[in-house]
Amino acid sequence: MTNEATSSVVAEVACPFCGLACDDLSVDTGGDALAVVAGGCPKAQAGFARMGVAHAGAGARIAGKAVSFEEAYAEVARRVKTSALPVFSGMALDVNGMRGVMDLADAAGGVVDHLYSEIGWRSTRVVQDIGYVTTTLAEVKNRADLIVLVGTDVVTKSSRFFERYVWNDEAMFEPAPSARRIVYLGGDLNTAPGRSPDGREPEVFDFDCSRMPEALSTLNALLAKQPVRDAAPLGIEIARWQALADALRAAKYSVLVWMAGDFQPSQVDLNINAIMAVVRTLNVSTRCNGLGLGGADGELNASMVHAWQTGYPMRTSFASGIPLYDPVHNGSARLIAEGETDTVVWVSALNDTKQPPAEACVVIAPPTLKLEREPEVFIPVSTPGVHHVGHFFRGDKGATLPLRALRATGLPSAATVAAAITAKLKEVSA
């Protein structure tokens, strides 16, 4: 039995390393690096071990030379102030970090863009065009009797999905969670976790995922009782498609799950539109919901804060003094490629593996990030949920999890850095 007064193990830790934000981890803080001892997955173990160090000796740099944090803040403020259009990208941040960067972008007249916005804005377009009918992970856990995974296995990105939300021992409104029916639409997916605890194999519609629009069109046609002339759409006999349509009609609470990042970028809004058509049709006679999962690297922290502070989705420019939303024009990759920005500031406190774009002159990131090239200014930051407290929106938008501080470090948070640079902006003459 553990003596809580002396144990170095912290229980009920929320994990910030993917969109599921599992909050049942136990983390041993006693060693040089943080060790997940219960409730995690390989990604969580690696993340806490790699980033959960004290960062002794880490400091700010200008042109590769050690400087004080104050000097680095002043240099970033000077660059941002004199820029025609500063772009703040990356944005793998907790809620507070994102709030700080939004204030900085507003004061600097810049653009903010999350590293997954190229996919995210296409999902948002569906909400803008036709609206969403979606559910939460808690509803899946407690109600779903038929789960269709559309072009995703989920587990490649969020490995504990089935463990925590599908094959649970008990559910509030579904008497036998182990009897849930699992269907995969698409090939080359890891379908093993879809096998039920009593050994029932999932049903797999094995086809090239790039042909998902055809698959969803077939399903929508059958649900609408329209003729489908092809005897075997995508090489799968029509009787199987019809059986799936019938199963969806017969289900009490079906859920169509997708991860937009697993769709081809050009098909994201097309596929989600088609999923929503399925949901609309079925809700005339039964219950059916969509579940778009995401949220890794603070994706939802960024989009939520951006929406509540500006009234617009991500990719809004403050250059004119008022927020102007244009998700195509304000994409950071496009602004860089077209030479429309001279100052790219990469900010990422949650991800220490993704390289900033080569054009990033300022990098604000954990010191464990192994940079392929030295930026003009580097400012090391601590990580939310590891070194300091914070808040993290789960990938289904159903909950905001509190993040804990597990390991002391002398490094500032991204929110602190952003606030310091914003304060320095006032001291710089343009």
Q: Mark 305-324 with x for binding to ligand SF4 (rule: CB under 6 A) and - for no binding.
A: --------------------
| Contact (Cβ atoms closer than 8 angstroms) between residue 98 and residue 117 | no
Site string for ligand SF4, 206-225 (x = CB under 6 A): --------------------
Residues 6 or more apart whose Cβ sits within 8 Å of residue 337: none
- Least separation in angstroms between residue 292's CB and ligand SF4 is 17
Of residues 147 and 379, the one with the C-beta less far from ligand SF4:
147
Rounded to the nearest whole angstrom, what is the least distance from the CB of residue 271 to ligand SF4 in the complex? 24
Task: Kindly tell me the sign of the dihedral angle through the C-alpha atoms of 251, 398, 384, 33.
Answer: negative
- Count other Cβ atoms within 10 Å, centred on residue 226: 10
CB of 29 to ligand SF4, least distance (A): 17
195 part of the interface to ligand SF4, by CB under 6 A: no
Q: Is the dihedral of CA 197, 201, 207, 212 positive or negative?
A: negative
Stretch that binds ligand SF4, among 13-21, 132-140, 165-173, 358-366 (CB under 6 A): 13-21
What single string gives the DSSP state of each residue in 211-224?
GHHHHHHHHHHHHT
Give me the least distance between CB of 395 and ligand SF4, in Å please.
9
Q: Which of 34, 40, 51, 407 binds ligand SF4 (CB under 6 A)?
A: 40
Q: Work out how close the CB of 254 gets to ligand SF4 at its nearest, in angstroms, rounded to a whole number.
A: 24
Burial status of residue 134 (CB atoms within 10 A of its CB: 0-12, 13-18, 19 or more)? buried
Residue from the set 29, 117, 135, 158 that interacts with ligand SF4 by CB under 6 A: 158
Question: Is the Cβ of residue 45 or residue 416 nearer to ligand SF4 in the bound state?
Answer: 45
Stretch that binds ligand SF4, among 17-25, 53-61, 209-217, 383-391 (CB under 6 A): 17-25
**Other C-beta atoms lying within 10 Å of the C-beta of residue 285:** 9
Pick the binder of ligand SF4 from 159, 289, 343, 416 (CB under 6 A). 159
Q: Which stretch binds ligand SF4 (CB under 6 A): 40-48, 219-227, 343-351, 417-425?
A: 40-48
- Tell me if residue 163 falls in helix, strand or coil: helix
Stretch that binds ligand SF4, among 41-49, 139-147, 218-226, 313-321 (CB under 6 A): 41-49
Residue 268 in tokens: 């994201």
Least separation in angstroms between CB 183 and ligand SF4: 22
Q: Least distance from C-beta 303 to ligand SF4, angstroms?
A: 18
Distance in Å, CB of 36 to ligand SF4, minimum: 8
Following DSSP, what letter does each residue of 102-157 receive, concatenated? HHHHHHHT-EEEETTHHHHHHHHHHHHHT---B--HHHHHHH-SEEEEES--STTT
| Beta-sheet strands, E only, within 326-418 | 343-348, 360-365, 377-380, 390-393, 400-403
141 binds ligand SF4 (CB under 6 A): no
Task: Name the minimum Å distance from CB 168 to ligand SF4.
Answer: 15
Q: Which is nearer to ligand SF4, 282 or 386 (CB)?
A: 386
Q: Is 78 in the site for ligand SF4 (CB under 6 A)?
A: no
The smaller minimum CB distance to ligand SF4, of residues 40 and 290, is found at 40
H/E/C letters for each residue in 2-21?
A: CCCCCCCEEEEECCCCCCCC
Q: Please say whether the beta carbons of 15 and 350 come within 8 A.
A: no
The residue range among 35-43, 96-104, 139-147, 232-240 that interacts with ligand SF4, by the rule CB under 6 A, is: 35-43
- 3-state DSSP assignment of residue 305: helix
In angstroms, the CA 368 to CA 46 distance is 12
Residue 91 token pair = 């944005």
20 near ligand SF4 (CB under 6 A): yes
Q: Which two tokens stand for residue 277?
A: 């058509």
Closer to ligand SF4 by Cβ: residue 113 or 297: 297
Work out whether 43 is an interface residue with ligand SF4 (CB under 6 A).
Answer: yes
Is residue 298 within 8 A of residue 94, CB to CB? The reply is: yes
User: Do the beta carbons of residue 90 and residue 299 sit within 8 Å?
Assistant: no
| From candidates 34, 35, 41, 403, binder to ligand SF4 by CB under 6 A | 41
Q: Can you give the binding site for ligand SF4, defined by CB under 6 A?
A: 15, 17-18, 20-22, 40-41, 43-44, 158-160
